[in-house]
């Protein structure tokens, strides 16, 4: 049986508690142990974006790639909710499917980071049209992800449809 939107949301919120814990440790590390890291966010937009990617997006993505794939089979949240990401044959997904799924799943998140860095850099200057387009794309993707999960027959998000995966209930 397919996992409901609510089950998936609860699983993600449980996983997000782990992510928040990681972010808290990262903040403590960057503020008290190696404060010089903060300077990487003050200069070049490219350096700031890349540093943020390496410190936040990449580790979080690796967590989901490993835990949702054949290696880990379930993330912490999915295990607690009794759900699992599988392929069309109801087998744990291979790494390349987990990578594709995670890239698409977190695309709005990374686009948000991209946009925030640029908006902060702008200061009081006029916001360019392409920034509005990026912002609209972020919201459009999030709504499509949610709506496809709510209204498709197998409760598949757009990224599950593209990568040919689905989230199912499993025995505990």
Please provide the size of the chain in residues: 172
Contact 68, 91 (CB under 8 A): no
Dist CA 140 CA 65 (whole Å): 24
Confidence at residue 117, expressed as pLDDT on a 0 to 100 scale: 86
Dist CA 103 CA 107 (whole Å): 6
| Pair type for strands 166-169 and 83-86 | antiparallel
Total domains in the chain come to: 1
Residue with tokens 């990026």: 134
Contact 110, 57 (CB under 8 A): yes
Range(s) of the domain holding residue 75: 5-169
Confidence at residue 12, expressed as pLDDT on a 0 to 100 scale: 94
Tell me how far the alpha carbon of residue 48 is from its chain's centroid: 19
Dist CA 20 CA 16 (whole Å): 6
Confidence at residue 83, expressed as pLDDT on a 0 to 100 scale: 96
Please report which helix (H) or strand (E) contains residue 98, including its range. helix 95-105
Contact 104, 97 (CB under 8 A): no
Mean pLDDT by 10 residues, the chain (172 residues): 93 96 94 87 85 93 95 94 95 95 95 90 91 97 95 94 95 62
Confidence at residue 21, expressed as pLDDT on a 0 to 100 scale: 97
Confidence at residue 171, expressed as pLDDT on a 0 to 100 scale: 74
């Amino acid at each position: 049986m397919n996992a409901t939107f609510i089950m998936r949301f609860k699983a993600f919120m449980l996983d997000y508690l782990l992510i928040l814990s990681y972010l808290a440790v990262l903040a403590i590390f960057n503020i008290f142990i190696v404060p010089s890291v903060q300077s990487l966010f003050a200069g070049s937009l490219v350096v700031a974006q890349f540093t943020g990617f390496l410190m936040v997006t990449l580790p979080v993505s690796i967590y989901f790639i490993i835990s949702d794939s054949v290696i880990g089979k379930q993330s912490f949240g999915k295990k607690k909710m009794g759900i699992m990401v599988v392929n069309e044959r109801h087998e744990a997904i291979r790494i390349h499917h987990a990578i594709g799924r995670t890239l698409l799943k977190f695309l709005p998140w990374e686009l948000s980071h991209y946009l925030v860095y640029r908006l902060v850099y702008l200061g009081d200057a006029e916001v360019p049209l392409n920034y509005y387009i990026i912002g609209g794309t972020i919201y459009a993707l999030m709504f499509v992800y949610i709506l496809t999960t709510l209204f498709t027959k197998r409760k598949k998000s757009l990224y599950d449809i593209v990568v040919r995966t689905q989230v199912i209930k499993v025995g505990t």
